[in-house]
Structure 1
Amino acid sequence: MSETHGTGEAGGPAERVPPEAILAVPVRHWGRVAGAVVALVVLGLIVWAFAGAESIQWDVVGEYLTDGTVVEGALRTLWITVASMALGVVLGVLLAVMRLSDNQVLSGVAWGYIWFFRGTPVLVQLFLWYNLALVFPILDLGFYRDEMNDVMTPFLAALLGLGLNEAAYMAEIARAGVLSVDHGQTEASHALGMSRARTMRRIVLPQAMRVIIPPTGNEFINMLKTSSLVSGIQYQELFRAGDTISSRNLAVMEMLLVVTVWYLFLTTVFSIGQYYLERHYARGSQRALPPTPWQRVRTNLGTFRTRSAVRKETT
């Protein structure tokens, strides 16, 4: 098709006039703005109430944040959390495999374990282990014999109480991850001559990690907070360390704030680690990896600058 050109004064083709650029003005969401203002006002009032409270000695809070007893308690909290979570993950994967087994005995045992430990509170389980000497005063394994009170230390009772309870939840998480893998993967590996154990280890579990990792990270952070319950069985973790100090200096609220700051610090660190671990296992399932927190900040800053420039042009 031939393009028609207008003629100028000299009879030649007229110059094309480029169309005006479309100025896109973003829609203002006043509801979001109002909600953000209300949230900031409420947060500011809460901070102001605590900061201005005369009964709280903030210098005491700052002094005990790095106190040796508190730091040691935080390390003990971290240690019992990691140890209990490791026990829960290993036993949970084993229970998930048993639950998926064609053997009705193994499947029934796994179901009964999960039913019991998910159906009773963690605190009750901790006290059951800690007071086991009331039922079995002597531990006699044939090759080893000792009084149960000497064997069942606060650390061992905390490890068994938290770890065995966590295994019940990890079993269901691992089972959901295994079931998320297409059954054709298992059939293909069996057709290649791979055994069931090797198929589970080399084919199914690596693919199931994408589903298992997020709830496992959440369980770890929850375990970090639940570990405060072991203070009831005399284990000297973070909460008990703060409680011990407050019983001496009577700074109850100050020590609770110290413990709160430490818990927030630990959960924040592991939340960041969980995010990058999830991002790592998301490779291959998403065309583009989710942005990191720093990338989101830069994107939001760029969007804010663009909107500011557009508003200046409109005005």
Structure 2
Amino acid sequence: MVEYGDVLARGFLRTIELFLLAGVGSLVLGTLLATLRVSPVPALRAVGTGYVTLLRNTPLTLVFFFFVFAYPKLELLQFPFFTAAVIALTVYTSAFVCEVLRSGINTVPVGQAEAARSIGLGFAQSLTNVILPQAFRAVVPPMVSVLIALLKNTTVAAGFSVNEVGSVIPFLNEEGEPTINAFVWIAVGFLILVIPLTLIQRGFEKRWSVAR
């Protein structure tokens, strides 16, 4: 830890960057997909269902492989490995965010949507002003679990030339150092990162339970 602390610190900083960018992207895209899944338009529901079914049943490694190696072959748009990792994590995690949020939408009483329609609100207005705020409150624990899984999934990026904390192990192997100590410090680092997410989850639960 003393000799290679800077290497671990840089790796965790890159991991946090991956997590924050992919987390925001996943929440935005996942919310959009959940909107498609509950849309009254059959074609939009089919698009949302197809996306979620495909991504939830595809290994994350294959998603990374597509955006890092296969997509550049199309010669549409070139981007660095870090950007490809953010896109892969976002595309993959958004499918799980969508299903969590959809389950929250299903917990909102039907009478809420009917009351919104009765005062002249359209589908989009009812969803954004009435249904989604209640749905987000209902799914805080599973949503945080999805984000924690995303945080741990960032280590997959190490296999695709992204210098995050997962790349520390092969680096130490090349240096001839025992890697068991690195595994311990990485585990401790992830524990330190996960604890604040858990505290945030509990804080939101307590605050919103009082509000209800």
Q: Give the TM-score taking structure 1 as reference length.
A: 0.64
What residue in structure 2 maps to residue 88 of structure 1? 26
Matches within 5 A, 1:270-289: 270-285=197-212
Structure 2 residue aligned with 1:158: 85
Distance 1:122 1:94 in 2: 21
Q: Partners in 2 of 1:279 and 1:75 — Cα distance?
A: 30
Once the two structures are superposed, residues 50-73 of structure 1 have per-residue CA deviations (whole angstroms, 9 ceiling, x without a partner) of xxxxxxxxxxx4x157x2221111
- Aligned length, in residue pairs: 212
**Cα distance change on mapping 1:133 and 1:222 into 2, 3 Å:** closer
Q: CA deviation at 1:279?
A: 1.8
Q: How does 1:1-315 map to 2 (within 5 A)?
A: 61=1, 63-64=2-3, 67-133=5-71, 135-136=73-74, 138-139=75-76, 151-285=78-212
Deviations 1:77-99 (A, max 9, x none): 11111111111111111111111
Q: Which stretches of structure 1, 4 residues or more, deviate above 3 A after TM superposition?
A: none
Counterpart CA distance in 1 for 2:11 and 2:95 is 27
Residue by residue, what CA displacement relative to the aligned partner does 1:268-311 show, whole Å, maximum 9, x if unpaired? 222222221222222244xxxxxxxxxxxxxxxxxxxxxxxxxx
In the TM superposition, what is the alpha-carbon distance from 1:133 to its structure 2 partner? 4.9
Distance 1:133 1:161, change over 3 A: closer
Provide the C-alpha distance between the structure 2 equivalents of 1:156 and 1:194, rounded to a whole number of angstroms.
39
Match of 1:21 in 2: none
Measured on the aligned residues, the alpha-carbon RMSD in Å equals 1.7
Unaligned runs of 5+ in 1: 1-60, 140-147, 286-315
- Between Structure 1 and Structure 2, which shows a larger proportion of helix residues? 2
Identify unmatched segments of 5+ residues in structure 2.
none
C-alpha separation in 1, matches of 2:87 and 2:71? 15
Cα distance in structure 2, aligned partners of 1:205 and 1:250: 51
Distance change in 2, residues 1:110/1:257 (3 Å) = same
**1:172: how far off?**
0.9
Amino acid at match of 2:85: A
1:64–1:258 contact (8 Å) kept in structure 2: no
The structure, 1 or 2, with the larger RCO (C-alpha pairs under 8 Å, 6+ apart) is 2
Amino acid in structure 2 at the alignment position of 1:198:
Q
Contact in 2 for aligned 1:92/1:170 (Cα 8 Å): yes
- Following TM superposition, by how much is the alpha carbon of 1:195 offset from its aligned partner in structure 2, in angstroms? 2.4
Task: Give me the TM-score of the superposition, normalised by structure 2.
Answer: 0.93
Equivalent AA in structure 1 for residue 191 of structure 2: L
